[in-house]
Amino acid sequence: MISNSMWSWWSELTGNKEELTLALLAISIITVVVSWYRSRKHTFPLPPGPRGLPVVGYLPFLDVNLHHEFTKMAQRYGPIFKLKLGSKTHIVVSSSDLAKVVVREQDDIFANRDPPVTGIAITYGGQRITFLSSLNVVTSMMWGKSLVDEEKSKDLGVELREVISKIVELLGTANVSDLFPVVARLDLQGLLREMKRQKKVLEGIFDRIMNERIATKVEEGGEQAGRKDFLQILLELKGENTASSFTFDQIKGLFTEIITGGTDTTSTMAEWIMAELLQNPKILKMVQDELEEVVGLSNIVEESHISKLYYLDAVIKETFRLHPPLPLLITRCPNQSCSVGGYTVPKGANVYLNVWAIHRNPEYWDNPLEFNPKRFINPDGTSKYDYNGYNFNYIPFGSGRRKCPGVRLGEKMLVYLLASLLHSFNWTLPTDKEHDLSDKFGIVLKKRKPLIAIPSQRLSDKNLYE
């Protein structure tokens, strides 16, 4: 019950509207302050990092090895730090423990992407499923035809290789339009214009391939005999008016991504592996000794040999450790603000996982700068580690739901390619060229100077080379 004195006070207060207004305002202010204070106690601060830069301060970031710079900054600010570039907040994670939080414990929050302007252009406005020598294997699976069999196909293969190489280069070029979306339409560096030009070239190639396939089907009056290739399946789905049907743009976007991710990465890593082997001739000899034992000098490498090449597998894994194909992986973009390592990662930030730094961290690896394949071999001689992303000290292809979907195919293609090159030929470096192992940052980590190596016949039977 309300006492008489309290009722009297309330009656007097409500009788004076000005005093009532002031009282309610005071209560509201107190409520807001208390709520703010309580929420502040449970809100984590943003990660440390350098202050925002003036406009001209962004220019150096357009032409640097970001994985090197981010590693230096991590030594100063810690395993998670923020960097304000343009209108966007960038968060860099450089430890395996925090990487696990991002790609496993909060994988659903960090599963989104914030693709660059050029990435949107080349994928037909985001018409894709992933965002993500080898070229012949991939194209054979996709539309049933190698690019080395006919003259017409050879010309198409050369054209396709050139445009894919240019697209990968453009995707890896820092773009001021991504830092300042307000000026994106101006395309100050001309990257968007060039990407659209390359897209038009690529679109012409795909149109020729698809039109040829459709025409062939009509001429034959039905389905092609034998097993269906990927293009045939997609074209059939296109004709269905269902939720799983595809448009031509979606098919082209998917093809762009598969070819880009399945060819350029493989050839780049093959170059890194060959470069490391030529830098370490004793290790090269051990690889060739294994090939001689498993394959034999009177045979060429076949798919059945791949699973027995444990030392070559270790060489490949060690190269992926020192030269991960995507040193910062592909950026993630949280769909809500969350906590990582005691810091707030704001919604919409670009989150990088500095795999390059994790793979070279002396806390995780003994003598991390040494090329030592034995670290990937168990005492019983079997392979140690894998590419599944469960050991967060070694995640060259990422982890969680955004892990590279083509790992298994790429792994087999790479082992087969390297085994064939190393078993069939001996390799030497030109005497008048410096052997350089420095890298050049991009969406795919490439050698700064292309590898030049001289092959010579290794097998005695020349017929094996036909």
CB 274 within 8 A of CB 452: no
Is 333 marked within a binding site? no
Name the pairing type of β-strands 88-93 and 350-353.
parallel
Q: Both tokens of residue 144?
A: 């049933």
Tokens 């000899």 belong to 285
Helix (H) or strand (E) holding 460: none
Whats the size of the chain, residue-wise?
466
Tell me the chain's radius of gyration from C-alpha atoms. Answer: 28
CB-facing half-sphere around the CA of 135: CA atoms within 13 A: 21
Q: Both tokens of residue 430?
A: 């030109």
Nearest Cα to Cα of residue 439 among 284, 280, 327, 332: 327
The answer for residues whose C-beta is within 8 angstroms of residue 437's C-beta and 6 or more apart is 275, 276, 279, 447
Buried b (16+ CB within 10 A) or exposed e, 287-309: bbebbeebbeeeeebeeebbeeb
Helix (H) or strand (E) holding 88: strand 88-93
> What's the one-letter identity of residue 268?
T
Whole-number Å distance between alpha carbons of 417 and 237:
33
- Give the CA distances from residue 87 to residues 59, 191, 230, 280, 417, in Å, rounded to whole numbers and listed in that order: 14, 19, 41, 46, 44
Nearest Cα to Cα of residue 204 among 150, 162, 261: 162
CB 148 within 8 A of CB 142: no
Whole-number Å distance between alpha carbons of 91 and 73:
12
> What's the one-letter identity of residue 30?
I
| Binding-site residues for heme | 404
| Binding-site residues | 404
